[in-house]
Amino acid sequence: EDFFPDLGRNGKWLHFTASPITDSNGEIIGAIETLEDITERKGAEDNLRYYLQEITRTQEEERRRIARELHDDTAQLLGSLSRQLD
């Protein structure tokens, strides 16, 4: 796989494979190559990575928010209980 910036408007990602062509004696006399445009797949992979990072960031923010709320609620409850015991 490689990126070719000069292909198309925004460049293209291409996946290539090659296989030798041999004669009856097994000597390599050529090669056959295939090129596959994987630009769309690469874009989808980039999007997937981005959204996974966003999900992870959002989960971390939510964990911090919940931890803060639990801490604050517990502190308020303990303060209230302490005042009631006095």
Question: Per residue in 41-62, pLDDT tens?
Answer: 999 999 999 999 999 999 999 9
Q: Is residue 75 scored above 80 in pLDDT?
A: no
- On the question of pLDDT at 26 being above 90, the answer is yes
pLDDT at 70: 81
Residue 20's alpha-carbon distances to 7, 10, 15, 25, 26, in angstroms, are: 26, 32, 17, 13, 10
What is the structure's pLDDT at 72? 78
pLDDT for 82 beyond 80: no
More confident: 34 or 83: 34
